[in-house]
A = this chain, B = another copy of it.
Amino acid sequence: MNIHDLIRELHEPSTSKIVLLVADGLGGLPIEPGGKTELESARTPSLDACVREGVCGLSIPVLHGITPGSGPGHLALFGYDPLQYRIGRGILEALGIHFQVGPRDVAARGNFCTVDDTGVITDRRAGRPTTERCVAMCRKLQQIRIPGTEIFVEPVREHRFVVVFRADNLGDAVNDTDPQQTGHKPLEAKGNDDHSRATAQVASRFIAEAARVLKSDFPTNMVTLRGFARYPKIETMQDVYGLRPVAIAIYPMYKGLARLVGMEVADAGATLSDQVETLRRLWDKYDFFFLHYKYTDSTGEDGNFAAKVEMIERLDAEVPKIRALNPDVLVVTGDHSTPSKLRSHSWHPVPTLLWSKSCRSDPVTEFGESYCLRGGLGQFHAMYLLPMALANAGRLGKYGA
């Protein structure tokens, strides 16, 4: 049985409130075996207080051994099987610049590149132009018109941009035109089915026009497109979970991911303090609040153990303000691990705490990877966290008589 069908059948009206606080890349590793992780090293009195009354565990974002990107990691936390719901690169890039993708859109990631007189690529990134130049070149591309299709071109940074084709019945089974190496001409875009052939045709015309308008703009005199992706069809959290959800995030990609599953997106401010203030302001209007905290991930990616510890401590300092709002359920977790030792996302399970008045608390007294191993939630797939939160919020009825 499809779990969404099950939950749709079981969810019940309630005035209870759930807060999902996602510390991006929360999980870590000790520098040396037997040492403490970033989270274990951090002084986290407020989180520890939640841990003592709550229940802990380790969440597996996708599958054992699989390192998730931000898309799959968040989809799982929103209660969607990340192996069933896939978000293409083009859509994620569009979300990342706050472009509001819609159901008729196919988005692709674009690269400015350099070609010689014969059309052969000599630099796949056009010598990494400045973002200013990227903006200027995108302005040129925005003049391209193709009858029957709306085209949006938006700069990302350096050589990167996003192009969105909007029309009825566009497919996304289209190959990348980037040949992945210099010394070759860009590949022709081809579609795998009728709808995708329509997209490929539009893309080919766009690329031909781009070559024309960029002709004198060496080294940014050509483009390649990759990661063609349609707006994914995803049931909303309202429909599946019966929630009125809102995202309180700062970075565009996480707002975009939240919008994909039907969350409203709040104007969150610029700091975690602003986000918590936004939470307070919106408290009466919603019943599910997704707070996204980026800096546990970015410090991990930088390989800066001490900075990640500090970012966790700053997060901890905001927890009492969240508790003061008296949520029925508070979940604190990450979308994946980002150990500063590895300087990247990783496959390691993610420390997770769930606090509610009806949880079965466990012997864990501090928040940390090795402590969570002894937690009452055990090791579980992240996509089950939201059903558990709903249950703890009194929002799920009995299955079967």
Which A residues form the contact surface with B (CB < 8 A)? 1, 3, 6, 10, 29-30, 33-34, 37, 52-54, 58, 62-72, 82-84, 86-87, 89, 92-93, 339, 341-342, 345-349, 358, 360-363, 369-370, 373-376, 378-380, 384, 387-392, 396-401
* Chain B residues with CB below 8 A from A345, complex form: 398
Residue in contact with A66 in the complex, picked from B72, B346, B399, CB distance below 8 Å: B399
* Chain B residues with CB below 8 A from A83, complex form: 1, 6
* Chain B residues with CB below 8 A from A396, complex form: 65-67, 347
A–B pairs, 21, beta carbons within 8 Å:
A1-B83, A3-B63, A6-B83, A10-B66, A33-B361, A63-B387, A64-B380, A65-B389, A65-B390, A65-B391, A67-B391, A67-B399, A72-B400, A87-B401, A345-B398, A347-B388, A347-B396, A360-B369, A373-B378, A378-B378, A378-B379
* Chain B residues with CB below 8 A from A369, complex form: 360
> Do residues A399 and B65 form an inter-chain contact, with CB atoms below 8 A?
no
* Chain B residues with CB below 8 A from A391, complex form: 65-67, 346-347
Copies of this protein chain in the complex: 2
Cα distance A339–B374 when bound, in Å? Answer: 22
> Do residues A1 and B84 form an inter-chain contact, with CB atoms below 8 A?
yes
From DSSP, what is the main secondary structure of chain A's interface residues? loop
Residue in contact with A363 in the complex, picked from B29, B37, B370, CB distance below 8 Å: B370
Known contacts A82-B400, A347-B396, A378-B378, A29 near B387 by CB under 8 Å: no
Residue in contact with A401 in the complex, picked from B62, B63, B70, B341, CB distance below 8 Å: B70
> Do residues A400 and B64 form an inter-chain contact, with CB atoms below 8 A?
no
* Chain B residues with CB below 8 A from A86, complex form: 400
* Chain B residues with CB below 8 A from A67, complex form: 391, 396-399
> Do residues A65 and B388 form an inter-chain contact, with CB atoms below 8 A?
yes
Instruction: Output the nearest chain B residue to A54 by Cβ-Cβ distance.
Output: B33
Instruction: Output the nearest chain B residue to A82 by Cβ-Cβ distance.
Output: B400
Cα distance A398–B347 when bound, in Å? Answer: 9
Instruction: Output the nearest chain B residue to A92 by Cβ-Cβ distance.
Output: B401
* Chain B residues with CB below 8 A from A358, complex form: 29, 339, 341-342, 346
Question: Least Cβ distance of A363 to chain B in Å?
Answer: 6
Known contacts A369-B360, A400-B87, A65 near B347 by CB under 8 Å: no
Cα distance A320–B358 when bound, in Å? Answer: 34
Residue in contact with A69 in the complex, picked from B84, B363, B401, CB distance below 8 Å: B401
Q: A66-B387, A66-B396 are in contact. List 4 more A-B contacts (CB 8 A).
A: A64-B388, A65-B387, A66-B391, A373-B375
Question: Least Cβ distance of A52 to chain B in Å?
Answer: 7
> Do residues A34 and B52 form an inter-chain contact, with CB atoms below 8 A?
yes
Instruction: Output the nearest chain B residue to A390 by Cβ-Cβ distance.
Output: B65
Cα distance A390–B371 when bound, in Å? Answer: 26
Cα distance A374–B363 when bound, in Å? Answer: 11
* Chain B residues with CB below 8 A from A397, complex form: 67
Of the listed residues A52, A71, A379, the one surrounded by the most CB atoms of chain B closer than 10 A to its CB is A379
> Do residues B384 and A68 form an inter-chain contact, with CB atoms below 8 A?
no
Instruction: Output the nearest chain B residue to A358 by Cβ-Cβ distance.
Output: B342
* Chain B residues with CB below 8 A from A387, complex form: 63-66
> Do residues A89 and B401 form an inter-chain contact, with CB atoms below 8 A?
yes
Question: Least Cβ distance of A257 to chain B in Å?
Answer: 11
> Do residues B370 and A29 form an inter-chain contact, with CB atoms below 8 A?
no
Question: Least Cβ distance of A81 to chain B in Å?
Answer: 9
Cα distance A15–B362 when bound, in Å? Answer: 41
